Amino acid sequence: DTPQQIDLFFSYGLSFRHFSHLKFLSIYRFCSLNLLERLMNEILYLPHLTYLKIIRYIIKYTEIYDIGIIGLIERLSKLTYCCFDITNDNDGFYQTSSIVSTSLNSLSLPYLECNLNQLISLIKNIFNLYSLQIRISDYVINSSIPSIKFLSIKKLNINFLGSLNIMKNLLQTMPNLEELRIELQSNYINGYEWESIIESNLLYLMKFQFKMSISISNQNNTEEEFDEILNSFRSEFWIIKHQWFVQCNWNPIKSSSSSTVHVYTLPYAFKNFFFMGNSRLKSTYPDNNYQWSFDCIHNLYYNYLSSQNLPLFRMDLRNIRHLDITIPFDNSFWLIVSTLNRLHSLNIVSYNDMNSVDIQSNLEILFEHSPNLHSLKYFSWFVQIEFVEKIKHLSIRRLGLQGPHMIYNHEQCLELCHSFMGQQCEVLSINVQQRTDIINLINNMKNLRALIVKCSKMTLTEEENQDLIQWLQQNLPTTCSISNSTDCNNNIRIWIR
């Protein structure tokens, strides 16, 4: 929302060299490769740094920076914790040198997709690495077992895409693991296989959390099929020795040729949770009605399907920060969500051509339960605009109105400006018909501090983008900073100071 805030920091003649004794540094949401390059150089002025976290917003992949930024780690001799959201261009053919560090004990690279050999090359010289978060993509079926052992690693958090052989080889390199959290994107491993893997390779494992899914034919979509899935997690190893319990949920409505069954450990250990209305729940816990903790779930994605008189099951989701929900929805939603007091952002998706009265009615129900809501985004494949002017919620400060057919004309922009939400809104993303509408929004929305906008009549060429930016610079106060957004939608970002 403030894309040039870091530039403003440097414009005052400040430098990280003025903070040479700094130990903790977190940098969030910047949108420039040039700025990333400068930050990499500035960080070298912080010899006492022990904690470093760099989370960008949207920067298109450039290997020089994405992979080169890893070299920072070994130049910071006191660094113990490091988190980078570096990524790669999905082809997997990049080279990265080995990090050499004796101080680093926690490394988090959640979006750097690498194969097993690349991972080994990356961390083999981090001699005291204790905790690792990484994303593995490696489908090699017949690979040899690596000879290296990472004896210092005790905690592993991994998002895994690949073959079972690679996963086994990876775990064999970390025989001292005490905590393992794994999200399997393309594999399903039953309880018998997991038991064999753990008993053979992970003798010190005390905490095991997983999430995975399996697709089954709707011809086999029966209670017995799901019992068979869960029975593999009911052995003495699971229930008595470790007391690791497993739950699965599935949708019994046969709307396609197959159904997806989600299988995960309890308590649920991941931030994201996808739930289809009318889903069935079943677990290996002796009392299937026991209310397990789902407090780790911060992001709920809820898709409603019309009821077919199926049994409804209760959950206790009370820590939701972000909700993505299709409308309309019914009262079964409240059987899994006990409170929305902590809800910060709400995304509404409409696949039906609902009228504005019905949309507003659904929103008011959610608003009544969401006293701390800050952000509202609405997405629809249909043209539905007028309901926004009727919204009233005292805490909402951010509006997202960029559905594919939601384009505001001159009159609608003025109506939005003078509405309750228009006067309260601080951050707005919107599609408008004319570039003069941008001026009207900025001049009439008194609390607006950031505008992400796309002009529908503009052909998305670089020349026309620059032409619009120049026109805005000529017609807006100098307190407005204007730049192209780095996302794929060719939005323009305006920071209003």
In whole angstroms, give the CA distance from residue 219 to residue 483.
54
- Tell me: pLDDT of 226 over 90: no
- Helix H or strand E encompassing 401: strand 398-401
The CATH number, out of the four listed (3.80.10, 1.10.287, 3.90.25, 3.30.460), of the domain defined by the range 351-497: 3.80.10
pLDDT at 373: 97
Quick one: average pLDDT of 205-232?
A: 85
pLDDT at 20: 92
pLDDT at 335: 84
Which 8-state DSSP code applies to residue 186? S
**452, 429 in Cβ contact below 8 A?**
yes
In whole angstroms, give the CA distance from residue 372 to residue 393.
10
In whole angstroms, give the CA distance from residue 241 to residue 52.
39
Quick one: average pLDDT of 186-215?
A: 94
**124, 146 in Cβ contact below 8 A?**
no
**316, 291 in Cβ contact below 8 A?**
yes
Cα 105–111–115 angle (5° rounding)?
85
Torsion over CA: 313, 314, 315, 319 (sign): positive
Quick one: average pLDDT of 342-362?
A: 82
pLDDT at 488: 54
Helix, strand counts (H, E) of the chain: 14, 21
Q: Which residues, in sequence order, are CB contacts of 461 under 8 Å at separation 6+?
A: none
Supply 364's token pair: 């008011």
Q: Which residues, in sequence order, are CB contacts of 310 under 8 Å at separation 6+?
A: 252, 253, 278, 280
Tokens 């709307």 — which residue? 255
- pTM for this prediction: 0.88
pLDDT at 196: 97
- Helix H or strand E encompassing 55: strand 51-55
Q: Sorting pLDDT into bands at 50, 70 and 90, what band is 40?
A: confident
Q: Which residues, in sequence order, are CB contacts of 453 under 8 Å at separation 6+?
A: 428, 429, 430, 431, 432, 438, 441, 491, 492, 494
pLDDT at 15: 92
- Tell me: pLDDT of 136 over 90: yes
Question: DSSP assignment of 96-138, as one string?
Answer: -PPP-BSS--EEEEEEEEE-HHHHHHHHTTBTT--EEEEEEEE
- Tell me: pLDDT of 330 over 80: no
Q: Sorting pLDDT into bands at 50, 70 and 90, what band is 179?
A: very high
pLDDT digits (tens, 9 = 90+) for 296-309: 999 999 987 665 54
Closest CA to 107 of 127, 124, 84: 84
In whole angstroms, give the CA distance from residue 434 to residue 472.
12
- Tell me: pLDDT of 378 over 60: yes
Q: Sorting pLDDT into bands at 50, 70 and 90, what band is 361?
A: confident
pLDDT digits (tens, 9 = 90+) for 146-176: 999 999 999 999 999 999 999 999 999 999 9
Residue 184 or 36, more confident: 184
Tokens 């009821």 — which residue? 307
In whole angstroms, give the CA distance from residue 293 to residue 317.
8
Residue 338 or 307, more confident: 338
Supply 219's token pair: 């011809």
Compute the residue count for the chain.
497
Highest mean pLDDT among 99-113, 275-289, 347-361: 99-113
Tokens 């109105």 — which residue? 401
Edge-first strand order for the sheet with 272-276 is 272-276, 299-303, 322-327, 345-350, 375-380, 398-401, 427-432, 450-455, 492-496, 480-484
